[in-house]
A and B are shown apart, each in its own frame.
Chain A
Amino acid sequence: MSQGSRDGSSSDQGIDTEYHDPATSSRSPRGNIEPPPEDMTHYRLLAHYSILVLASMAGCLIRLGLTAMGTYAGASIFPIAWSQGVGCAIMGLALARKKELTFWPPIFTFWTTGIAASITTFSTWMEEGYLAFANFNGYRRSGFYDVSRF
């Protein structure tokens, strides 16, 4: 009996160190967005990946919808700011409720890695930042405000 439990615990430990490093989670308790320690079977991993399909489709649609809603004449803020804000708010909400959400770990992956991270986008941020920086649309700017004149 004791032999069996020891075997079980050692194999558990092996799986655990492969997927989740306890040192990092103790170093950054608030920023830990890794899945919690669990026995990661192949079936569970498949569930993690397949729940992301629904999450990314929903997140992408939400981002497109928010961008379309934020695009109107005379908008006071750039439209992609809405989706960045909503995604980060969902991420903060899910992180604060991590203990409750991890009754089934893929649902935590669904909200953080899936929904929240699909709504936000880094690449469009970089693209629009570059376009603003380079004055790509050719607005008439006086010398100091126009990088392309230097």
Chain B
Amino acid sequence: MYTFATFAIALACLYFGEYVASILPHLPRRALPSIATQNSKGSTRRRKPSQHPLLDTLAIISAILCYLIALILYFYTPTTWRHRAIFPILLSPPGTMLRYALSRLNARYKFPLGTFLANMIATIVLAGVFAEQHRIGSGVRCNAMYSIQQGFCGCLSTVSSFAVEVRALKGWMKWIYIGASVVGGHILMLVVFGGVGWSKGYGPICTE
């Protein structure tokens, strides 16, 4: 029931977002220079590539600045909230980058392999880390476990791409994809998390 509710919320909110897009005003056309070069006749002519080297440079600078600011915040903010908020965001960009790299696999096969792999890897890592969290005391290790869960695994796995792909797939492939992801995720949790629990036993979850 938990699984069904989450899946229903995801699909419903996808349609809700599209509806919101239909009632919001459009972006001003003049701010979008490369839309005008779109091909108007015939599908053989290709659209001109949109070159914005200045914006590309700004993006790269923003990445460096983000890491700098996050590091500075991590070292100079009070410990009451830096472990819960700043440590996860230091670990989140590698997860997103790995998912983006894996998403290149999506277009090659009928099955969206990249998203599936990202979700499964995140589930395995989270199961292991969550099991470890029940077996250690407090301190920095506990915070690191929490941050890997929320930052790395949370950003590596995705429901929104999953919902979009489920909606786009046709026929049996849709049900195979849903079944493989949901049942596979639960089985991975059972094997890793349940297996450690049955063999070694669990204490209470650690706190900082």
A interface residues (Cβ-Cβ under 8 A, vs B):
9, 12, 19-21, 24-25, 28, 30-34, 37-39, 43-44, 46-57, 59-61, 63-64, 78, 80-81, 84-97, 99-100, 102-106, 109, 112-114, 116-130, 132-134
Chain A residues with CB under 8 A of B103: 33-34, 113
B163-177 at interface with A (beta carbon < 8 Å)? 163-165, 167-169
How many A-B pairs with Cβ below 8 Å?
276
Q: Which 10 A-B pairs have the closest CB atoms?
A: A31-B168, A92-B17, A50-B63, A122-B157, A96-B21, A117-B158, A56-B96, A120-B159, A91-B160, A126-B185
Name the CB-closest residue of A to B186.
A130
If A31-B168, A113-B99 are given as contacts, then 17 extra A-B residue pairs at C-beta distance below 8 Å, sorted by A number, are A24-B107, A50-B60, A54-B66, A55-B96, A90-B160, A96-B21, A113-B103, A116-B161, A118-B92, A120-B159, A120-B160, A122-B159, A124-B149, A124-B157, A125-B3, A132-B2, A134-B190
Among A47, A91, A92, A127, residue most surrounded by chain B Cβ atoms (within 10 Å): A92
Main secondary structure of the interface of B (DSSP, over half): helix
Number of interface residues, chain B, beta carbon within 8 A = 93
Assess A89 versus B20: contact at CB under 8 Å? Given A100-B26, A123-B156: yes
Name the CB-closest residue of B to A18.
B104
Are B62 and A118 within 8 A (Cβ)? no
Main secondary structure of the interface of A (DSSP, over half): helix
Q: How many Å lie between the Cα of A12 and that of B107 in the bound state?
A: 18
In the assembled complex, 6 residue pairs joining A and B whose CB atoms fall closer than 8 Å, in A order, are A31-B169, A54-B63, A60-B92, A90-B160, A127-B130, A129-B2
Residue B207, interface by CB 8 Å:
no
B1-54 at interface with A (beta carbon < 8 Å)? 2-3, 5-6, 9-18, 20-22, 24, 26-27, 31-35, 46-47, 49-50, 52-53
Are B59 and A51 within 8 A (Cβ)? yes
Q: How many Å lie between the Cα of A21 and that of B112 in the bound state?
A: 13
Write the nearest CB–CB distance from B192 to chain A, whole angstroms.
Answer: 10
Chain A residues with CB under 8 A of B14: 88-89, 91-92
Name the CB-closest residue of B to A44.
B56
Chain B residues with CB under 8 A of A19: 104
